[in-house]
Structure 1
Amino acid sequence: MPLSSYNNLLSTIGGSPSNQWSAEHEQVLIAPFTYTASNPGKNIRGRLIAAFNYWLNVPKEKLEAIDRVIDMAHNASLMLDDIQDGSDLRRGKPAAHKVYGTPQTINSANYVLQLAYQELRKSLRSATHQAVEGTEPVDRLLRVEDLDVIWNEDLIHLHRGQGLDIYWRDAYKCPTEEEYIDMALGKASGVLRLSVRIMMTCATTNTSVNYVPLVDLIGVYCQIRD
């Protein structure tokens, strides 16, 4: 191959991947997620977020961002759950992987989880900067480092809980009551705990109260009842 051909190739690939990204590509990647989100459930998590906000009084713009991001994370986790559980249906309609295939659905779910965190950082930091210039109270702990810790910790717990549940099912192993509750704390409480922990960092009232134990109880109850 002539040297000029290599130079042309380097010129083509020399930019950042984001420079070549298009809205059409984006729609292709998030199509399984968009499909899942277009068939909403009972919005229990949204209602619980609103209920906890009765105590926490998170500023409206931040609460809307948290609610939006948690919905993204929840639907992404459902897409993966359906694959791991071998489910054909989700909320009465074909599951995303039955429509778009397993590889594309896995990639879409993981991609949306990354987009959700990116959206969370962008929205909450923007709201905080606006609060500094206005009269709205500024949250007490909201730093990038705090978001990193909260997001990573609860997603790790979520994957650990899901992984144990899958292992026990496939290995025909019956967990102890203590093991089952520990699994439920990760799997069922994970997304709700994530939302409430972020809300606690943005709270304007009851800032000294730790609501995580209550969230964990709700998660365990939902897992057992389900």
Structure 2
Amino acid sequence: MEFKDLTQYQNAFETYWKDVNIESNNPPALFSPISYIMSLGGKRIRPILCLLAYQLFKVDFRRAMPQALAIEVFHNFTLVHDDIMDQAPTRRGAVTVHEQYGTNSAILSGDAMLIMSYQYLLKGLDQNQISLAMDMFSTTALDICRGQQLDMNFEKKEWVAIPEYLEMIQYKTAVLLGLSLAMGGLVAGADRKTVELLNQCGVAAGMAFQIHDDYLDAFGNTQLTGKQRGGDIIQNKKTFLWITAYNLGGQRLQQELINWTKQSVANASDKVRRVLEIYQSLDIEGHCQKKQTDYTNQAIDALNEIDVSDERKQRIFDLMALLLSRSH
């Protein structure tokens, strides 16, 4: 399976978003940054997961399009604010929103995106669905804030334990993939147990996804990822790679890794080069692959518990496999 096999979902989503005609709203200074970040591409993984989960139970996935849009707008809102906090110059190969429009405008437009996401979340839901959807969405939103704060805290710590890191990425990244699948099931009328299994599947897949993302930040092709190589290293982020290298490296390499976190930005290229050499010497790629496989198996087990045909599940299985073998 390739992403081109998901074209019908991507095209339907883009058409739905285009029909929103966000730039027709006033004032333009508030809504143009929203149009900008939403136009920067991306594979629309989260809305597609929502639509695929809906199709486990019903045919017309367009019925879940408002909720798919809510999730994607929310996701992009978090990117806008994350880029401000990280002082990131680029996103998906383009200038970040705060660099293009200014920090104050980026903050305000991000706030507007959060509000918009709730507006679309509730479209077409009955009263019983609204209560659960609001609870799921709000819980996820707060968890993501928790994850971002933990990530920021880690930058100031010399060392982070693997369980601490896994908690952080579960909150910051994985829970939104869980919500994407769970929301599609909810809109389709799935029962609570099934919605929870979909959430478990998405969270486990999200954990594997983030570990792979950490790997791509260090070793991915920058022309494909649209990000600077070693951005996490430069920002002293305690990723799965860094923590595993620290655990395996012995006293000398541990001290060297810590020393590099104290180097100035002026030495960024030397810092990235040397830390990558340490990763390669310790086969950190192999350790990443093993952890990814563990979480992928958890996701598969959760999806297999759902009482629908394997044929209906296949697109979700295929998409998970594709995400974890991607080069960008």
* Shorter-chain TM band: 0.7 to 0.9
- 1:159 alignment partner, one of 131, 145, 157: 145
Please tell me whether residue 191 in structure 1 is matched to residue 176 in structure 2.
yes
- TM-superposed deviation, 1:31: 1.7
Partner in structure 2 of residue 221 of structure 1: 208
- 1:176 alignment partner, one of 138, 156, 161: 161
In structure 1, give the amino acid aligned to 2:198. Y
Point out which structure has higher relative CO (alpha carbons under 8 A, 6+ apart): 1
1:4-45: CA deviations, max 9, x gaps? xxxxxxxxxxxxxxxxxx9322x3212212111111112222
In structure 1, give the amino acid aligned to 2:25. A
In structure 2, give the amino acid aligned to 1:119. Y
Q: 1:141, 1:201 within 8 Å by CA — same for their partners in 2?
A: no
- The normalised TM-score by structure 1 is 0.75
1:142-166: CA deviations, max 9, x gaps? 13x2232112100011100111011
Partner in structure 1 of residue 242 of structure 2: none
Cα 1:109/1:58, change in 2 over 3 Å: farther
- TM-superposed deviation, 1:205: 5.5
1:125-183: CA deviations, max 9, x gaps? 3xx4xxxxxxxxxxx9413x2232112100011100111011101x1342211111111
| Structure-2 separation of matches of 1:158 and 1:208 | 23
In structure 2, give the amino acid aligned to 1:124. G
1:73-88 to structure 2, matched below 5 A, reads: 73-88=74-89
Partner in structure 1 of residue 124 of structure 2: 124
Cα 1:52/1:119, change in 2 over 3 Å: closer
Cα 1:186/1:57, change in 2 over 3 Å: farther
Partner in structure 1 of residue 44 of structure 2: 43
Q: 1:56, 1:206 within 8 Å by CA — same for their partners in 2?
A: no
Partner in structure 1 of residue 186 of structure 2: 201
1:1-12 to structure 2, matched below 5 A, reads: none
| Structure-1 separation of matches of 2:174 and 2:128 | 22
Partner in structure 1 of residue 35 of structure 2: 34
Q: Which runs of 5+ in 2 are unaligned?
A: 1-23, 214-328
Partner in structure 2 of residue 17 of structure 1: none
Q: 1:141, 1:202 within 8 Å by CA — same for their partners in 2?
A: no
Give me the CA root mean square deviation.
Answer: 2.3
- The normalised TM-score by structure 2 is 0.53
Partner in structure 1 of residue 198 of structure 2: 211
| Structure-2 separation of matches of 1:198 and 1:48 | 9
Please tell me whether residue 91 in structure 1 is matched to residue 92 in structure 2.
yes
Cα 1:181/1:78, change in 2 over 3 Å: same
What is the number of equivalent residue pairs in this alignment?
188
Q: 1:79, 1:106 within 8 Å by CA — same for their partners in 2?
A: yes
In structure 1, give the amino acid aligned to 2:150. L
Q: 1:69, 1:119 within 8 Å by CA — same for their partners in 2?
A: yes
Q: Percent identity between the aligned chains?
A: 26
In structure 2, give the amino acid aligned to 1:202. V
